[in-house]
Chains A and B, each alone.
Chain A
Amino acid sequence: MTSPKKIRIALAGNPNAGKTTIFNALTGARQHIANYPGVTVEKKVGHVRHRGYDIEVVDLPGTYSLTAYSLEEIVARDFLVNEKPDMVVDIVDASNLDRNLYLTIQFRELGAPLLIALNMVDVAQARGIDIDAEGLSSLLQAPVVRTVARSEKGIQELLDRIVETAEQSPAWSPSLISYGNDLNSCLDEIEKKIEDTSVHSNTYSPRWLALKCLEGDQQIMEIIRRDSAAHAEIREICHRIAKHTMDTLEVEPEGIIADHRYGHIAGMTRRVVKRRTETRLNFSDQLDKVLTDRLIGPLLMAAILYGIYEFTFWASEAPVEFFSQVFELLKTGISAVLPEGPLHSLIVSGVIDGVGGVLGFVPLIMFMFFAISVMEDSGYLARVAYMLDRLLRWFGLHGNSVIALLISGGISGGCAVPGVLATRTLRDPKERLATLLVVPFMNCGAKLPVFGLLIAAFFTRNEAQMLFIFTILAWIFALFAAKILRSTVLRGPKTPFVMELPPYRAPTLKGLLIHTWERTWQYIKKAGTVILAISILLWAMMTYPGLPDDRVEYFDGLGQEIRAGFLSRPVVRPLVPDRQALEELDTLAAPFFTTESVKVEKYLEEHEGSPVFEALRRIALEGSDPVVDGGAFQKAYTQYREKALSVETQRRKETVLSTAAGRIGRALEFVTAPLGFDYRINIALVGGFAAKEVIVSTLGTAYSLGDPMEADPGSLQKRLKRDPAWTPLRAFSLILFVMLYVPCFVTVLCIRRESSWKWAAFSIAFNLVTAYAVTLFVYQTGLALGIGV
């Protein structure tokens, strides 16, 4: 199948054995990431040229074993047996030889041609561990190359040996170790049965299948089930031996197999490993004495996590600002080229706002991934999980879940998008999903303006405390929601926490950059595909069908009438003779009449010399004008302006109500009335699905604030405060609802990307139901008890 000049190798090894570093050292930047078919496990493939060969390197997931218990192990195993690469390059951590050889033994059992990269020999030597590589090579019947991947030592030799090994085109040959008399005879028996069945093929060796049967491997049992007679007989043999070992040794065959593998390894290492000194406490252990100390550890952890949070948002502030400037510029550019109209609106409000909104997150995500990569590569992340596990386990989460929760807004003002992506550090699918689903409850930066508006309007006396209360509430809701999920739809045994605390290592910059970039690029690429469609859909909902023609005519007529009335006034006519002059007056009047010290220079370039501008300048700066009576003119203009605005306001209100979103808002009133929400709040909430930032501005539009150019945030606040329908209870309910209801659509897309459409839809439904139930309870209780009404 492979042409003579091609070599295909699979890179395998324990997590933390330096597999990724070797992969990067081998392939450099020439790599790409995909998923293994049908699963979310990443498949990294890279290429390297060496001695005229094109070597394709497939990075298998890091595993400790080759059973069928975890997705990663199944993926690695399936790849090896189905694709039969030319060889497995097994990365073995020399400083932790016994445990790493456990996987190596299983590759031998499987029969894959092996090449051992004995990595981190420098660390091993520093710890007084000397390994006889030649001896190990002859025991394992596989070439062994010493490497120090971090400093790229031995990489060339590794490539040489890959080519040499491939040139001998080694065959797949399972090597057998002894598992004790009882099991050995059972294996013989099962092996014979398998050889006689139709299941027997070239894909698996019968001995290996027999071994997997004894290990109780579900995936292999399914394959054997195809021959039901043999399946029944084999099961019978397995049950018999299991009963025997349980009776005599209180251990299942699976355990005995593991013990024999380790026994075999101990036999090998006794012959090839020399320990110079009894290992004293190494640097990593000493560091752990402080960093995982029962008292100092958690304090330092809080400081470090807070530091990461601050770093992410601080470092991304400038680039985020830069991006939004770029998109503003783009919008201005398009406005200059395209006339006002549906196409303009589609491109500016639909495409640029939508796609720009997503790309705007890129710097944030990049720095978050960078910070997480540092924690991961240095080994600290495992310590965080270790220290927090007891607490989060009670809620059915994992120690690592805290990072996702924190980034999503654990301290007010995070973002759920990088938070969702941060759940990748969780390995158990159910714990991961539970974290994924509760992450949107946290108070992200886009919810804060809503909270700010309502708190400032209704809880003036203790603003800071209120914000703190809402932060605590978000944590409570997220954690208890996780608890509920984990005891209902995501019920499952707690995954074992047997986990390695890898030695602390200084991360390499190359590794960090590659990690950060590949994750960021995935976000841009994958999230970017669906976003365009959804932004256009949301834009259309907020725009169409729009005002019916007769209403448009009505408002146009009304506007014309008011303008004509103003223009016909004697005090106005000398200065503002026509419609064009009035338009100029409208742009200039607001700053001149409302601001005390106008920076005239700002308008000099465009308007200098125009009669309207000069007159306004005189009225504003000198208080009088030779052409018109300043006082009377200003009064007339203010009256006209108020009338025009009230028409404009009415028009906006009707326009909003005429759109699909507006109609939905009205239609939803019967559902949201028990929460104390009217159609205007509903519209804002519908818009908030696009992005929570939109809630305040949509509320502003729905509350008919008129000219958005003039609307300062304070005026909506005052407007709400004056409105008798708005009570502190209603404000509190709305804050709760906004905190808990649907994640914004970018987050939904990320949830889909990290799980499936099914779970993304579940996330929307789950959040809505939670938000509704909580808000309903709070509002109705408040009403009944007369609190905050």
Chain B
Amino acid sequence: MKKIIKMREMLDNQSGIIRKVKGSGEMGRRIREMGLVPGAPVRIQGRAPLFDPVAVKIMDCTLTLRNNEADHILVEVDET
């Protein structure tokens, strides 16, 4: 079973496929231009010492983004 959750809610090392990116303006642009676009597979690489920002593996690189930015990204993951 698949379900769609916010990227912030993903667990460490969980993988999924981006389904929707909602942000607009500069934030939305930055998120997209770095490759966080619908259809792209992502995996949570880890979180900073204070659990924010989060590091994600996307395409072939590692990106970091803050939790409030990760809220704009909806990811389809396996139901566990």
Interface positions of A (Cβ within 8 A of B): 64-65, 67, 69, 95-99, 102, 127, 129, 250-252, 254-255, 258-259, 262-263, 266, 279, 284-285, 288-289, 292-295, 297-298, 382, 386-387, 389-391, 393, 493, 495-503
Contact = CB atoms under 8 A, between A and B. Distances in A.
A743 B40 CA distance: 49
Nearest to A252: B24
Given A102-B33, A389-B53, A496-B31, A251 B21 contact: yes
A65 B31 contact: no
A496 B65 contact: yes
B48 A292 contact: yes
A230 to B, nearest CB: 25
Interface string B27-40: 11111111111111
B59 A99 contact: yes
B46 A255 contact: no
A127 B55 CA distance: 20
A259 B60 contact: no
Given A391-B50, A497-B53, A64 B62 contact: no
Nearest to A65: B33
B9 interface: no
B31 A498 contact: yes
B66 A497 contact: yes
A99 B35 contact: yes
Contacts of A65: 29, 33
Interface residues of B, number: 39
A292 B53 CA distance: 12
A495 B39 CA distance: 26
A64 B34 contact: yes
Please name the 9 residue pairs, one residue from A and one from B, whose CB atoms are nearest each other, closest first: A390-B50, A258-B32, A501-B62, A496-B30, A498-B30, A65-B33, A262-B37, A99-B35, A496-B27
Contact of A259 (B38, B46, B61, B69): B38
Contacts of A64: 33-34
A288 B64 CA distance: 13
Contacts of A298: 49
A255 B48 contact: no
25 contacts: A67-B29, A69-B29, A69-B30, A98-B35, A99-B61, A251-B22, A254-B24, A255-B24, A258-B32, A258-B33, A259-B32, A262-B32, A262-B37, A288-B46, A292-B46, A386-B53, A386-B55, A386-B64, A390-B51, A393-B66, A496-B69, A498-B34, A499-B64, A501-B55, A502-B61
Nearest to A299: B49
A705 B47 CA distance: 60
B52 interface: yes
Given A252-B24, A259-B32, A292 B61 contact: no
Contact of B63 (A387, A500, A503): A500
A389 B36 CA distance: 21
Contact of B66 (A297, A389, A502): A389
Contacts of A98: 35, 59-60
Contacts of B79: none
Contacts of A386: 48, 53, 55, 64
Given A284-B62, A289-B46, A390-B48, 4 more contacts: A259-B37, A262-B40, A288-B46, A499-B64
A294 B30 contact: no
Given A386-B48, A500-B34, A69 B26 contact: yes
